[in-house]
Amino acid sequence: MARKGKSRAKIDEIMKYLFGVSKETLIKMLNSLFKQNFSVENAAIIQTNSEFVDDNFDITRGDLFFRVIDESKPHNFHIEIETRPNGNMTIRVLEYDIKKADENQRLNNKCGIKRYILPKSIVIHIEKGNNIPDCYEFEIVDVKPDGTEEIIHRVVPVIKYWELSHEDLVEQKLYPLLPMQIFLLRSELKKFAGEKDSENKRAVIEQIKKMTEKIIIEVFNLTEEGIINKDDDNKIVTALNKLIQYLNKQYNFDETLNQEVDIMMTSSYTTFRREYDKNKLKDERERQRLEENKLKLEIEKIEMVKEMLLDKEPLEKIMKYSKFTKTKIKHIEKELAAQN
């Protein structure tokens, strides 16, 4: 149990680090997950407490809680990330949400009837499992003294991560979840961990390297396009590397894996950077060439207009051949008169 707790703690540390990305990236992710429309420019966001201590000093830990302040109104969100299927998710999510609602109520400290507002929650299941539903749906029934019932019907959506490619994650703006793609290879890491220098083990290592390279290139593109910033880039790539190291250690898979991944990451980034700079320079030269051609054509058209003006050609004819506006032609005519 202690070993499992330590293992889970390591994952929690990596996840908290990974979700320490920029405000812009977090808001885009929450907008996508919870179908919101918060303004990246105007909304504020903080990651709030996820550990709750009861009167017996027992600790209950959820995964990720965020508060978004939009137009002076607070919105609370809860993301639970499950790396393995769990049959108790319904009651666990409810427990976490009640504890967060209780914490928020105490912090607000309003007099009168206590009001508990549950956060909007979602569960992300990383690995495929039997009987993982599309949502966790349940009812809380309050039976009144007269026998009537008051029912609270709650639905917690489920994201089936294993169904999403890294392209899907980018399209849905779930950039912080990109490194979790490595978890999709966990069963193979476990399956072939005991084999020595086997083709199966080598195939898994190559899969990890290929997947890592794809994620690095995707993150690099997002950074260069200004969709995420360089700090986000660093966090996502660092978390990716830490997850690989964690899984390698967890299953004692292969002592060369970490080194091979480090070499590949450095090589891929350098190669892609060089190729990107080369293409950028090529694009810049092409842009300059087009600008120069455009300027040359403009000068030639101005000279043509001057000649037509000197030949006393009608204004309509000059406009037809030059494609210049009447105002521009009149301006050229004034310049021509000043020169003479």
Last residue of a domain, one of 163, 198, 226: 163
Distance in angstroms (rounded) separating the CA atoms of residues 68 and 55: 29
Average pLDDT over residues 22-51: 94
User: What is the per-residue pLDDT across 123-150, written as a single tens digit (0 to 9) for each?
Assistant: 999 988 888 999 999 999 999 999 999 9
Model confidence at 119: pLDDT above 70? yes
Mean per-residue pLDDT for 4-27?
79
**Domain interval for residue 318:** 286-339
Report the percent of the chain where pLDDT is more than 90: 44
Which one of 108, 132, 163 terminates a domain? 163
Asked whether the beta carbons of 262 and 208 are under 8 A apart, the reply is no
Q: Which pLDDT belongs to residue 275?
A: 65
Residue 115 burial (C-beta neighbours within 10 Å; 0-12, 13-18, 19+) = exposed
Would 142 be classed as within a structural domain? yes
Report if residue 244 sits inside a domain.
Answer: no
| Domain assignment of residue 227, yes or no | no
Cα–Cα distance measured from residue 139 to residue 118, given in angstroms and rounded to the nearest whole number: 14
Specify if 153 maps to a domain. Answer: yes
**Is the pLDDT score of 30 beyond 90?**
yes
**For residues 154 and 337, which has the higher predicted lDDT (pLDDT)?**
154
Residue 180 forms part of a structural domain: no
Name which residue leads in pLDDT, 217 or 169.
169
CA 270, CA 330: separation in Å to the nearest integer?
Answer: 55
pLDDT digits (tens, 9 = 90+) for 199-241: 889 999 999 999 998 898 899 889 888 899 989 998 999 999 9
* Dihedral sign (CA 224, 229, 233, 234): positive
Domain count, the chain: 2
Q: How many angstroms separate the CA atoms of 60 and 99, rounded?
A: 9
Averaged pLDDT for residues 186-202: 87
The end-to-end CA distance of the chain, in Å, is 96
Greater pLDDT, 12 or 324: 324
Question: Does residue 3 surpass a pLDDT of 50?
Answer: no
pLDDT above 90 for 55:
no
pLDDT confidence of residue 276: 63
- Sheet hosting strand 135-143, strand order edge to edge: 44-48, 64-70, 73-82, 120-125, 149-160, 135-143
Dump pLDDT digits (tens) for 254-297. 888 998 888 888 877 676 666 666 666 676 777 888 888 888 88
Whether 108 maps to a domain, the answer reads yes
Which pLDDT belongs to residue 170? 94
Residue 60 lies in a domain: yes
CA dist., res. 333 & res. 311, Å (int): 12
Residues with Cβ within 8 Å of 134's Cβ and at least 6 positions away in sequence, in order, are 157, 158, 160
Among 212, 216, 224, smallest CA distance to 276 is for 224
Q: What is the pLDDT of residues 247-256, one digit of tens each?
A: 999 889 988 8
Share of the chain above pLDDT 70, in %: 93
Q: Which residues pair with 150 in a beta bridge?
A: 142
Identify the domain boundary among 163, 193, 228. 163
pLDDT at 2: 40
In this predicted structure, the answer to whether residue 61 has a pLDDT above a threshold of 90 is no
Is 7 a residue whose pLDDT tops 70? no
Helices H, strands E: what count in the chain?
Answer: 10, 8
* CA pair distance 30, 186, nearest whole angstrom: 27
Residue 181 lies in a domain: no
Name the pairing type of β-strands 149-160 and 120-125.
parallel
Of 56, 70, 23, nearest to 232 (Cα)?
Answer: 23
Mean pLDDT taken over the chain = 87
Nearest to 177 by CA among 235, 99, 119, 111: 235
Q: What is the mean pLDDT of residues 75-103?
A: 89
CA distance 66 to 45: 7
